[in-house]
Structure 1
Amino acid sequence: MEIYLVGGAVRDRLLGLPPGDRDWVVVGSTPEAMLSAGFRAVGRDFPVFLHPDTGEEHALARTERKSARGHRGFVVDAAPTVTLEEDLGRRDFSINAIAERPDGSLVDPHGGQADIEARVLRHVGPAFSEDPLRVLRAARFMARFAALGFTVADETSALMRGMVAGGELADLVPERVWQELVRALRSPRPSAFLRTLRDCGALAVVLPEVDALYGVPQRAEYHPEVDTGVHVELVCDMAATLAPGDDAIGFAALVHDLGKALTPDNELPKHIQHEQRGVRPVRELCARLRVPAAHRDLAVVACREHLNVHRLAELRDSTVHDLLARCDGFRRPERTTQLATVCEADKRGRTGLQDQPYPQAAELVRLRDAAAAVTGADIAHLELEGPAFGEALRKARVAAIGHARTLRRDPD
């Protein structure tokens, strides 16, 4: 039995990145031998085991043979005769096909170290085209590594275009698409995920509502970047900067302007009522990808309300209250903070405006806190019930919002 450190742990060390989870490949063993050594089996589709002490994943070296369409259509061979080089040869990218021996030396049959130095994402071999999920993985790795200067190798881009043209991505299941999207939104540069998919034609397949935004013009005085698709890229990157690793905020940023793709041509470059038009495609996208309810609800709120938050200072006290109530801000205070962050990302996600202040974010949260400080106990003395009680509570909270605004304007 020989054990090697493989994959992301080796890659990230060579890139000088903080270490993450460590994965190991075991050569020359069998499932029975692993169990006898105290490992615990966890793999469903291929033999993966957890170390009895560290809990780290150890997978038997394996090869894969395509047997059907889709990312699950493979026959796995994990016999003890499978070599380390054969196992590395089935991996997706050269930078992930490097193994480290116990003495620290590297096994690198596919030039992964050279590609790391050149900052190139390159597929290992022709078997790459057998798994459509790898197109999304390429885009997701670009979301993580574009900030380090990585680009996709020309031959890999060509292979991805061929996979899309051949209809391979039609076999992707919604859960896997969502999983890759979430990981991209947690990354430093989600725009690279969108651009990589769009360059090979995959964005129109997996996120057609987002792809439809490219080429849609906006008013240059508000959006110097003009193209709505480019704006969404900037907003996603700004969201990743304001809320690193928060995929709920990132998803809401991604879909907040879907309604602009539905603007009639005779109204362009204005987008009247695009917030209302966008709710339906947001819900349809969420249903198709089986997006979790919390992500969906924030996305719908951000789509519907982002212009109201932008003009917060112009709203009446009662309108501010009703905005907070529509967003469920009194029961879910975190929703208000999330919405404020998405709106800030929208406002600052514009060419040349990334450093503009956005006081509406803090003000929205401050007014919510002022209103929420008023509870039912504060009006209990009125001895009201039912709708009358609710209306009295609303009036008291509206008054609290007005008082908070007065204090901001005239602190003395």
Structure 2
Amino acid sequence: MSQLCSSDDNVLKSADIYLVGGPVRDELLSLSAHDRDWLVVGATPDEMKAAGFVQVGKDFPVFLHPKTKEEYALARTEKKSGKGYQGFVCHTSPDVTLEEDLMRRDFTINAMAKDDMGKIHDPYNGLDDLENRILRHVSPAFAEDPLRVLRGARFLSRFYRLGFSVAEETEELMRSLVEAEELQQLSAERVWSETERALQEKNPEQYFALLKKVGALDFWFAELAGQAFELPEFLTEADTDIRALLCWGWLLHGLTSEAIDVLCARIKAPKRYQDFALLVQRFWPLLNAEPVTDSEQVLALLEKAGAFKQGGLFDLWLMLWHPDCQALKNWWQALAEEMAQVTAKSFVEQGLKGPAIGAAIKARRLELITAALS
């Protein structure tokens, strides 16, 4: 199971190697795991290097396997030394036990290990919580790391469809972190990273709903505090790589453009997310109006969504329509393709120059849109 190189049997003969965390949890839930996390108990950094592993961790020893390139971490403990998620002192030693390493983890369902015989080591009753579909903290040390508030909300967005909920006592610890203003110590990059990953899950609305429940929206997501977190199911069935963008735009459509700008700047959301949220907010009435009657608005949407160029947001806009509206989506797509055929070439041939060309293009497109609307 450990997949160590040929010299490991001699150099690491006293070490125990376990598959830990998410891969164990996902296997027990019959879910596919993307990565495998390995834990080495009873070895030193020098022994790992002698076995051919390459050290990559600076704050604590993490090593890459010489053949598989998977990560192997030495067992460690953590002690709170300051505010925020970086305020920890890590201690690594061959004497650190499996149970001590697992105790520092966030939730019981993430604090299980599997040895090379296939035995599950579960010192904190993760199996029971997995069976009962409960997200429960491992120890009171949960309240020492504010990032775990966001991680807990993200895990809920992932496992909500399987019937998971958060234990009341864990919610209380989340509130205590919020009240202590620990979340303010997080970096915007970490906040966005957790948020984007939550938006890629099947129930991203649960991420924001739980943050609201424990008071965690007030600092990083203040603009969303009064929003209703509802998403149509067809959006969450979209491919993972675009699901986050679709859900972000839908969730923010009730804000003002100014509020969207401020929120995206605060959490350092990528420009594409900001642009799509602004597009949805501005043209939300067109998405919900049938029949459409305003030619100027239609053209403004097509231009703003980049329907006439590569890399625009128009295809994403079309995905906001319910699958039952395929005929309407086809109408929009055909209209965009017709508008794209109106280019400067014919007007240049007519002798137009400068701004007159742009005005002629717009006039012709409006003419075609009006005809299509009628």
Q: Report if TM-score (shorter chain) is over 0.5.
A: yes
Provide the residue aligned with 2:247 in structure 1.
250
- SS of the equivalent of 1:13 reads helix
Q: Distance in 2 between matches of 1:290 and 1:113?
A: 37
Normalization by structure 2: what TM-score? 0.89
After TM superposition, give the deviation of residue 153 of structure 1 in Å.
Answer: 1.0
After TM superposition, give the deviation of residue 318 of structure 1 in Å.
Answer: 4.3
Q: Distance in 2 between matches of 1:236 and 1:65?
A: 43
Mean Cα deviation higher: 156-165 or 38-47: 38-47
Which residue identity is paired with 1:367?
L
Provide the residue aligned with 1:367 in structure 2.
335
Q: Distance in 1 between matches of 2:285 and 2:373?
A: 20
Provide the residue aligned with 1:7 in structure 2.
21
1:195 aligns with 2:221: no
Residue 370 of structure 1 contacts residue 401 of structure 1 at CA under 8 Å; is this kept in 2? Answer: no
Provide the residue aligned with 2:119 in structure 1.
105
Change (3 A) 1:369 1:286: same
Provide the residue aligned with 1:169 in structure 2.
183
Residue 340 of structure 1 contacts residue 362 of structure 1 at CA under 8 Å; is this kept in 2? Answer: no
Which residue identity is paired with 2:236?
A
- SS of the equivalent of 2:237 reads helix
1:42 aligns with 2:56: yes
Provide the residue aligned with 1:285 in structure 2.
263
Structure 2 counterpart of 1:74, from 84, 88, 91: 88
Change (3 A) 1:250 1:62: same
Change (3 A) 1:318 1:187: same
- SS of the equivalent of 1:102 reads coil
After TM superposition, give the deviation of residue 364 of structure 1 in Å.
Answer: 2.7
After TM superposition, give the deviation of residue 281 of structure 1 in Å.
Answer: 0.4
After TM superposition, give the deviation of residue 359 of structure 1 in Å.
Answer: 5.2
Q: Distance in 2 between matches of 1:317 and 1:167?
A: 50
Structure 1 counterpart of 2:70, from 56, 75, 82: 56
Residue 230 of structure 2 contacts residue 251 of structure 2 at CA under 8 Å; is this kept in 1? Answer: no
Residue 292 of structure 2 contacts residue 373 of structure 2 at CA under 8 Å; is this kept in 1? Answer: no
- SS of the equivalent of 1:385 reads coil
Q: Distance in 2 between matches of 1:357 and 1:200?
A: 38
After TM superposition, give the deviation of residue 373 of structure 1 in Å.
Answer: 3.1
Residue 143 of structure 2 contacts residue 177 of structure 2 at CA under 8 Å; is this kept in 1? Answer: yes
Structure 2 counterpart of 1:234, from 224, 230, 233: 230
Provide the residue aligned with 1:211 in structure 2.
225
Structure 2 unaligned residues grouped into runs of 5+: 1-14
1:337 aligns with 2:339: no
Q: Deviations over 1:83-128 (max 9, x none)?
A: 1111111000000001111121111111111111110111000110
Q: Distance in 1 between matches of 2:350 and 2:32?
A: 59
Aligned-residue sequence identity (percent) comes to 42
- SS of the equivalent of 1:313 reads coil
After TM superposition, give the deviation of residue 183 of structure 1 in Å.
Answer: 0.9
After TM superposition, give the deviation of residue 187 of structure 1 in Å.
Answer: 0.4
Change (3 A) 1:201 1:237: farther
Normalization by structure 1: what TM-score? 0.81
Which residue identity is paired with 2:352?
L
Provide the residue aligned with 2:279 in structure 1.
301
**Aligned Cα root-mean-square deviation (Å):** 2.2
Q: Distance in 2 between matches of 1:94 and 1:195?
A: 22
Q: Distance in 2 between matches of 1:144 and 1:114?
A: 19
Structure 2 counterpart of 1:388, from 344, 356, 367: 356
- SS of the equivalent of 1:25 reads strand
Map 1:63-142; keep pairs closer than 5 Å: 63-142=77-156
After TM superposition, give the deviation of residue 203 of structure 1 in Å.
Answer: 2.1
Which residue identity is paired with 1:30?
T
Which residue identity is paired with 1:58?
Y
1:17 aligns with 2:14: no
Map 1:264-279; keep pairs closer than 5 Å: 278-279=256-257
Change (3 A) 1:11 1:405: same
